[in-house]
Every structure is written in structure tokens, then in C-alpha cells.
Amino acid sequence: MSVCPQCQEVNPPAARFCAACGSRLLELPEETTGSLDVVDPGLLQQGDVTEHIAQAPAGGYGFLMIQIGQEAGSWFQLDRQTMSIGRHPDSDIFLNDVTVSRRHAEITLRDDEYYIKDAGSLNGTYMNRERVEEERLCPGNEIQIGKFRLLFLRQGQGD
């Protein structure tokens, strides 16, 4: 059984293209593993590792992992108070697809909690398949922005 990443149609196991929408079906490896560096090597050159660690939220940094979309498997560390998501090249999290607005959404850190907020996007921002304007993120939440599906994770939680 193969599930289409675009329309969620269930296709026969040997299918290479979706019978419903024609999209190419992804061939996923049996095992997938992500790895995270404890310290960004660029920080070591700047000499401010201690300051960087001191600025980390008490619950640890949040991360977004692309599950479906270009560059699936890529990770983004949420290491700023506010991070922009969009198709604009200056976005903190750049998602290059026409289904993503130039300024699509923002993730903010308030009171040691992460929140996602739609920034007036055309196609909307979804959390766990429901359209949201602004919602608190919890580890395991699935965020959909255009054709991209991202998984929210939190360092030190869910271990």
C-alpha cells in the first residue's frame, strides 16, 4: 500500500504514480534517522557558546522537521524568539513552493511555549489537519504549510 503525499489516496503497493491525482509516489527507506548537533560549529568560532546555551528556553529548543515536501527530512532549529516561515528568500524557514505564501506564518516563543500563527497566507496554516490562526505547539503536532508537512519536536521531550 502506498499513500499519495499530495492527496492521501491509497494506491497499490507497486504503483509509482497516484491513480487519483497523478503525483509521483515517494519511495521511503525502511529506516529514517535524523541527527542533531549539540552545538552549532559556527558558534564555536564566535566564542559565544555559553551565551547561546544561556538563551535556550527552559524546556529546550523546538525543531521542525519536513516530513512531506521538497527536502523531506531536513530540520530547522527554532532558536529565536520569532521565526518567519514562507517563500520569501529572507524567511527564517524558507519553503520554496507556489503553495506557500511569501510571508506565510510565524513561530514565536512566549513563556517557554512555542506558538504558530498564520501571517495572512492565501492557503492557510494547518495544525493536525485543522486550519489555525494561532495555536500553541506541542511535540508531535503536524503543521501543514502549502504542500509541506512539518513535524514539531522539542529537545528534551519525548525521549
99 pLDDT higher than 60: yes
Sheet containing 148-154, strands listed edge to edge, beginning at the edge strand earlier in sequence: 75-78, 62-68, 148-154, 142-145, 125-127, 130-132
5 or 126, which is more confident?
Answer: 126
Nearest to 78 by CA among 106, 51, 103: 106
Domain borders along the chain are 60-154
Does pTM surpass 0.75? no
Averaged pLDDT, 34-58:
48
Model confidence at 56: pLDDT above 90: no
Q: In CATH terms, is domain 60-154 a member of 3.40.50.360?
A: no
Percent of the chain having pLDDT more than 70?
75
127 HSE (CA, 13 A, CB side): 18
